[in-house]
């Protein structure tokens, strides 16, 4: 079944065309990576799929629900991690996870979900400390845990390792891989093409509001006779 | 727990743990106001102490006639005067003595004083006020002398009348006409002068606009901060993608802020009441209840609703404004610039009744939701519930319109994309 179906999506901010008519689909259970440079339209696409932004034209279907007409149905099935997301600084890590869990379940299940969040975050005893005492890496891992603890059918992750050092980045990538193995769908974006190559089953190259090409990392590398996705992207731009 | 209550409790927890909110909510009303009051009280008490001691007054009697002696005797009997009779006849030396002996006033009764009074020509005494410092207590004690001379004059007149017109009532001659004031309030005749009743009503309705102004500004800042913090800390985007209606988010945030503002209101009322009590002389016991003007439970309830509606209007306005900003500082600036001009006009009502104002001003004040609690504070004393109910209805309509706009904005992407920033842009090097 198709998790996301985007057809000729355009998004305009005033006079700026952020998306100029993109189309792609993501199947259930896939990790789909959007790669491209800053300002290419990755975050705008993710924000539209997350129902934060409205469509200028075109259609976005998530599990068959139109993002314009049934955003509340989509919100029940997704979990969105913005690139520069923060957590409530005056709450402790566990209070933050508990607060978020209440929107997805109730009763005893809340504590089960929180336990899972604590386990994903790897914060151990520090989970009871206030968020404002966390390092950037700890906060990001808490946020990733928040996004994945409720086992959403679709996780939308914008630059999941943004601002993290090598060790923390590697830990977060492992968390995402483990999560996808359980059957959930992941739509992620990154300008780190090697990261996307490591994580994704399928990739779309996006530049200047257009999809330049898409396929599995192996297909793309073969198509452009490139060794990695960075080279693929440079070739795709050159062929325009 | 429901989704709305989850947001409500998170909001309250988040606000209560914010040191800035605690400072505004506890430190200012419960510590600063009473501290200010204590300072004023201490000042007033030192003035009272100075007055109680009696004004140190030196007197030189160059006349030695019967009226000079009567004058000196009257001064001696006056509790406001601490009289010291000087034996010198040299005024310059007497001034030096006054200065070195902590006397505030020196009076010189000239020769011929008694004769002039005897012949109905009037008499004059020379009075020298000695000012060493500029403390209020010192100035008050000097100015008290005029009052004392007035009292002494009256006593001298009584003595003269008794001597010159035996059998006559000196009080009737001095005050041939007197008045006995009554005041008619709500059809009831009360044996109290009208000025006193107006003073009491004014003192009651003074407290409402001042507390309300402080509260509205504080609550608006708190609401704007709460929304702007979500934007600044990048938590809003996550919140907006949760499976919860945008109205629940808005209502939860407003409810949390409103709950904290109720705690804050109680703190402000306690603090401000203590502050105001510092100015009230302890021996004045005329209360509204004593003159049949107490506020009924219905009136009190209506006043409470009016205040709550004003707070709600401020909350909704602040939420809308905060949506347009990107950070806390910009939100606070925008809210101050916008809400302050809407709150200040209500302060006019501390000094004037709405019905006595020019029509344009009256319309402006009635159009502002923040004026109505002040109007209500006076109206409930007079049991005029019509104007209070009208005000509450208007406030409700105003708030609903603002809430509708806020809800509309919350249901669109504007809540994410709207951007106003008052922060200085960094110059690119």
The nearest CA of chain A is from the CA of B245 a distance in Å of: 8
Please report, for the domain that includes residue A203, its CATH number.
3.40.50.300
Query: Which residue among A51, A80, A84 places its CB closest to the CB of B234?
Result: A84
Are residues A4 and A59 both part of a single domain?
yes
Are residues A6 and A45 both part of a single domain?
yes
Q: CB distance A90–B240 less than 8 Å?
A: no
The nearest CA of chain A is from the CA of B29 a distance in Å of: 23
Domain count, chain A: 2
Classified as helix, coil or strand, A87 is coil
Q: CB distance B14–A88 less than 8 Å?
A: yes
Are residues B403 and B287 both part of a single domain?
yes
Does B426 map to a domain? no
Which of B178, B199, B232 is the last residue before a domain boundary?
B178
Are residues A111 and A133 both part of a single domain?
yes
Are residues A72 and A90 both part of a single domain?
no
Query: Which residue among A47, A75, A81 places its CB closest to the CB of B242?
Result: A75
Query: Which residue among A85, A90, A95 places its CB closest to the CB of B237?
Result: A85
Are residues B139 and B202 both part of a single domain?
no
The stretch A216-221 carries a mean pLDDT of 93
Residues of the domain holding A67? 1-77+153-160+183-240
Query: Which residue among B14, B234, B245 places its CB closest to the CB of A91?
Result: B14
Are residues B26 and B142 both part of a single domain?
no
B48-66, pLDDT tens digit by residue? 776 677 778 899 999 999 8
Does B144 map to a domain? yes
Q: CB distance A53–B238 less than 8 Å?
A: no
The stretch A48-65 carries a mean pLDDT of 96
The residue of chain A with its CA nearest to that of B226 is A88
Q: How far is residue A174's CA from residue A64's CA, in Å, rounded to a whole number?
A: 29
Percent of chain B with pLDDT over 70: 87
Are residues B254 and B365 both part of a single domain?
yes
Does B429 map to a domain? no
B216-272, pLDDT tens digit by residue? 888 888 888 888 888 888 899 999 999 999 889 989 998 998 888 888 777 877 787
Are residues B61 and B167 both part of a single domain?
yes
Q: CB distance A103–B3 less than 8 Å?
A: yes
Show residues of chain A in contact with B1, CB under 8 Å: 102, 106
Are residues A5 and A58 both part of a single domain?
yes
Are residues B22 and B128 both part of a single domain?
no
**B69 vs B74, B75, B106, B124, B393, CA distance in Å?**
8, 10, 16, 15, 71
The residue of chain A with its CA nearest to that of B19 is A90
Does B197 map to a domain? yes
Are residues A51 and A98 both part of a single domain?
no
Which residue out of A99, A132, A142, A155 would a mutagenesis test of the B interface target, given it has the greatest number of B Cβ atoms within 10 Å?
A99
Residues of the domain holding B128? 54-178
- Residue A112 or B380, more confident: A112
pLDDT for residue B340 is more than 60: yes
pLDDT category at B388 given cuts 50, 70, 90 is very high
Does B369 map to a domain? yes
Does A173 map to a domain? no
Show residues of chain A in contact with B17, CB under 8 Å: 90-91
Are residues A91 and A63 both part of a single domain?
no
Does B427 map to a domain? no
The stretch B311-329 carries a mean pLDDT of 87
Are residues A1 and A30 both part of a single domain?
yes
Q: A52 and B417 in contact (C-beta within 8 Å)?
A: no
Show residues of chain B in contact with A146, CB under 8 Å: 238
Which of B178, B195, B223 is the last residue before a domain boundary?
B178
A189: left (phi over 0), alpha (psi -120 to 50) or beta: beta
B160-187, pLDDT tens digit by residue? 888 888 888 888 888 889 888 787 776 7
Look up the pTM and report it. Answer: 0.76
Q: CB distance B234–A82 less than 8 Å?
A: yes
Long-range contacts of B95-104 (CB under 8 A, 24+ apart): B95/B128, B95/B130, B97/B58, B98/B58, B98/B128, B98/B130, B99/B130, B99/B132, B101/B56, B101/B58, B102/B56, B103/B56, B103/B57, B103/B58, B103/B130, B104/B55, B104/B56, B104/B57, B104/B129, B104/B130, B104/B138, B104/B141, B104/B142, B104/B145
A103-150, pLDDT tens digit by residue? 999 888 999 999 999 999 999 999 999 999 999 899 999 999 999 999
Does B291 map to a domain? yes
Are residues A12 and A67 both part of a single domain?
yes
The residue of chain A with its CA nearest to that of B10 is A99
Q: Write down the mean pLDDT value for chain A.
A: 92
The nearest CA of chain B is from the CA of A142 a distance in Å of: 13
Choose the weakest-confidence range: A10-14, A122-126, B191-195.
Answer: B191-195
Domain count, chain B: 2
Are residues B248 and B297 both part of a single domain?
yes
Please report, for the domain that includes residue B166, its CATH number.
3.40.1710.10
Are residues A2 and A56 both part of a single domain?
yes
The residue of chain A with its CA nearest to that of B244 is A103
Q: How far is residue B373's CA from residue B391's CA, in Å, rounded to a whole number?
A: 8
Does A176 map to a domain? no
The residue of chain B with its CA nearest to that of A68 is B412
- Residue A234 or B138, more confident: A234
Are residues B194 and B322 both part of a single domain?
yes
A163-205, pLDDT tens digit by residue? 788 888 898 899 898 888 888 999 999 888 888 988 999 999 9
pLDDT category at B290 given cuts 50, 70, 90 is low
Does B352 map to a domain? yes
Any chain B CB within 8 A of the CB of A88? yes
| Structure confidence at residue B427 (pLDDT) | 46
The nearest CA of chain A is from the CA of B234 a distance in Å of: 5
Which of B178, B210, B240 is the last residue before a domain boundary?
B178
| Structure confidence at residue A123 (pLDDT) | 92
pLDDT category at A28 given cuts 50, 70, 90 is very high
Query: Which residue among A50, A90, A143 places its CB closest to the CB of B241?
Result: A50
Are residues B308 and B351 both part of a single domain?
yes
Show residues of chain A in contact with B241, CB under 8 Å: 50-52, 75, 78-80
Are residues A9 and A66 both part of a single domain?
yes
Residues 141-170 of A with CB under 8 A from B: 143, 146
pLDDT for residue B428 is more than 50: no
Are residues A7 and A69 both part of a single domain?
yes
């Amino acid at each position: 079944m198709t998790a996301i179906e985007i057809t000729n999506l355009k998004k305009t901010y005033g006079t700026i065309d952020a998306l100029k008519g993109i189309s792609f689909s993501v199947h259930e259970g896939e990790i789909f990576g959007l790669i491209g440079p800053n300002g290419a339209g990755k975050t705008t696409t993710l924000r539209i799929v997350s129902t934060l932004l409205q469509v200028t034209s075109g259609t976005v279907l998530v599990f068959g629900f139109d993002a314009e007409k049934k955003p509340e149905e989509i919100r029940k099935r997704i979990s969105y991690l913005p690139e520069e997301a923060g957590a409530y600084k005056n709450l402790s890590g566990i209070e933050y996870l508990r607060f978020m869990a209440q929107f997805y379940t109730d009763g005893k299940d809340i504590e089960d979900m929180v336990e899972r969040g604590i386990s994903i975050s790897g914060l151990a005893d520090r989970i009871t400390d206030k968020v404002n005492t966390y390092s950037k890496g700890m906060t990001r891992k808490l946020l990733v845990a928040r996004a994945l603890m409720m086992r959403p059918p679709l996780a939308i992750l914008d630059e999941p390792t943004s601002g993290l050092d090598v060790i923390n980045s590697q830990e977060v990538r492992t968390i995402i891989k483990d999560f996808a193995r359980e059957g959930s769908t992941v739509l992620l974006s990154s300008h780190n093409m090697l990261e996307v190559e490591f994580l994704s089953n399928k990739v779309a190259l996006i530049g200047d509001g257009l999809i330049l090409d898409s396929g599995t990392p192996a297909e793309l590398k073969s198509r452009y006779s490139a060794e990695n996705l960075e080279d693929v992207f440079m070739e795709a731009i050159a062929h325009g | 727990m429901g989704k709305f209550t989850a947001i409500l409790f998170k909001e309250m927890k988040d606000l209560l743990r914010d040191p800035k909110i605690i400072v505004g909510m506890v430190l200012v009303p419960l510590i600063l106001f009473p501290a200010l009051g204590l300072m004023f009280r201490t000042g007033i008490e030192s003035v009272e102490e100075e007055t109680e001691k009696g004004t140190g007054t030196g007197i030189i009697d160059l006349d030695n006639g019967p009226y000079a002696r009567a004058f000196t005797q009257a001064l001696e009997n006056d509790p406001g005067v601490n009289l010291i009779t000087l034996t010198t006849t040299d005024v310059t030396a007497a001034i030096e003595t006054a200065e070195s002996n902590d006397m505030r006033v020196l009076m010189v009764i000239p020769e011929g004083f008694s004769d002039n009074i005897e012949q109905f020509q009037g008499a004059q005494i020379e009075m020298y006020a000695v000012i060493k410092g500029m403390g209020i207590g010192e100035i008050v004690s000097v100015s008290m002398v005029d009052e004392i001379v007035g009292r002494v004059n009256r006593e001298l007149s009584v003595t003269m009348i008794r001597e010159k017109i035996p059998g006559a009532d000196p009080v009737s001659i001095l005050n041939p006409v007197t008045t006995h004031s009554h005041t008619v309030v709500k059809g009831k005749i009360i044996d109290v002068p009208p000025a006193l009743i107006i003073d009491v009503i004014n003192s009651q309705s003074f407290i409402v606009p001042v507390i309300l102004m402080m509260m509205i500004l504080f609550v608006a800042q708190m609401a704007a901060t709460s929304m702007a913090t979500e934007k600044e800390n990048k938590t809003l985007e996550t919140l907006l993608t949760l499976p919860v209606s945008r109205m629940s988010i808005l209502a939860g945030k407003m409810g949390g802020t409103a709950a904290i503002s109720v705690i804050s209101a109680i703190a402000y009322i306690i603090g401000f009441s203590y502050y105001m009590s510092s100015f009230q002389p302890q021996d004045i016991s005329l209360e509204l209840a004593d003159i049949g003007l107490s506020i009924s439970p219905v009136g009190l309830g209506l006043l409470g609703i009016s205040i709550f509606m004003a707070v709600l209007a401020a909350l909704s306005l602040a939420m809308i404004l905060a949506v347009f900003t990107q950070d806390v500082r910009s939100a606070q600036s925008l809210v101050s610039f916008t809400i302050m001009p809407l709150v200040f006009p209500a302060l006019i009502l501390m000094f004037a009744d709405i019905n006595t104002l020019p029509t344009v001003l009256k319309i402006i004040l009635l159009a502002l939701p923040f004026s109505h609690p002040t109007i209500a504070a006076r109206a409930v004393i007079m049991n005029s519930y019509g104007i209070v109910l009208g005000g509450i209805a208007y406030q409700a309509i105003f708030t609903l319109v603002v809430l509708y706009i806020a809800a509309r904005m919350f249901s669109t992407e504007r809540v994410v994309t709207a951007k106003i920033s008052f922060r200085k842009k960094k110059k690119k090097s």
